A = this chain, B = another copy of it.
Amino acid sequence: MAVYTDVAADDLTRFLSGYEIGDLLSYKGIAEGVENSNFLVHTTAGNYILTLYEKRVAEGDLPFFLGLMEHLHARGITCPQPVQNKQGGMLGKIAGRPAALVTFLDGMWMRRPSAGNCAAVGEALAALHLGGADFKMKRPNALSVESWRPLYQQAKDGCDKVHSGLSDSIAAELDHLERAWPRALPQGVIHADLFPDNVFFLGDKLSGLIDFYFACTDTLVYDVAVCLNAWCFEVDHSYNVTKGRALLKAYAKGRALSAAEREALPLLARGAALRFLLTRLVDWLAVPAGALVKPKDPIEYFRKLRFHQSVKSASDYGFSA
């Protein structure tokens, strides 16, 4: 939640002269986005977001992310549209970092999403999966099941200081998921990080999806599992079946889930919970005690994992028969 790289006004003016978006009037670093540095850029032509890609984003993946946003935008998904420079490219360089400009989306993200918000997200997620179906580029999910054991190794020694018994619980869960992980379900473009802060609303209406920097080619229903984790739990970590039902029903209206996909949902939800538990754990352990900027609490996802382990079938998530 910080700006990692600052940009000087004359460097930005020079950068913008490569685009046809008018004259620079102001820019502010924005305290959003955990991986990259983002600036809200105001020009005589309007508002834009300038993103500087920091170390954690592989430069080779940028054409996938930017191409995907352009592809989805062209198919009617409201998401930031990369702005082409005068040469027709979408990627530039500023302050030593790869950088891109995208259009600014109005809207607010919901700190306390309602069941109606969850339905809107389910609908948008199905539209994203359908809209991405003819996207030609591929990108493997760098944070899928194969990556979890190395993340666990990184966090292992510090685990039990965060929560007693956590290390053994993760080890057991990993063994189970690596054995049982489904490989034959329908694949496609997934967002993979569609948390509330990546979904904008104007009033009750969803006004846009942002932050495609974890998007990849993976099991579509895994994306649904990520959303159940991100949208359908209360602050006390209890699952809200009304929200789950709203999300799943709205998704199924756009894209029906097969029997195999439904059946796999509890396992995929466990996997999604473990994925966020592990990355948060690694971030948590990397930051010294007392630091001003605290990473997100990993234990929230341990609680969610516990819930998913207790689930007997997909109907526990709110699927109507």
What is the bound-complex CA distance between A104 and B109, given in angstroms?
Answer: 22
Taking CB atoms, residues of chain B closer than 8 Å to A142 are none
Which residues in B have their C-beta under 8 angstroms from that of A27? 108
Known interface pairs A3-B1, A31-B3; A26-B200 also in contact (CB < 8 Å): yes
A24, A29, A109, A292: most-surrounded residue (chain B CB, <10 A): A292
C-alpha gap A8/B110 in the complex (Å): 7
Among B10, B28, B107, B290, point to the contact of A25 (Cβ < 8 A): B107
Given A1-B2, A292-B287, verify A28-B40 contact (CB < 8 Å): yes
A108 and chain B: residue at smallest CB distance? B9
> Which residues of chain B come closer than 8 Å to A19, judged between CB atoms?
none
Q: In the complex the two chains form, is B9's CB within 8 Å of A42's CB?
A: no
B interface footprint on A18-49 (CB within 8 Å = 1, 0 otherwise): 00000011111111100000001010000100
Judged by a CB distance under 8 angstroms, whether A293 is at the interface is: yes
Q: Are A202 and B25 in contact (CB under 8 A)?
A: yes
**Copies of this chain, count:** 2
CA distance A288 to B294 in the complex (A): 12
CB of A136 closer than 8 Å to a CB of B: no
Is B293 a contact partner of A26 (Cβ separation < 8 A)?
no
In the complex formed, the residue of B with least CB distance to A105 is B26
The answer on a CB contact under 8 Å between B30 and A29 is: yes
Residue of B nearest to A287 (CB): B292
Q: Which residues of chain B come closer than 8 Å to A235, judged between CB atoms?
A: none
A106 at the interface (CB under 8 A from B): yes
B2, B109, B291: the one contacting A287 at CB < 8 Å is B291
**Does A201 make an interface contact (CB < 8 A)?**
yes
Taking CB atoms, residues of chain B closer than 8 Å to A10 are 112
Contact partner of A109 among B2, B9, B110, CB < 8 A? B9
Determine whether A6 belongs to the interface, using a CB cutoff of 8 Å to chain B: yes
The 6 closest A-B pairs by CB, nearest first: A29-B31, A9-B108, A291-B291, A8-B111, A288-B288, A25-B106
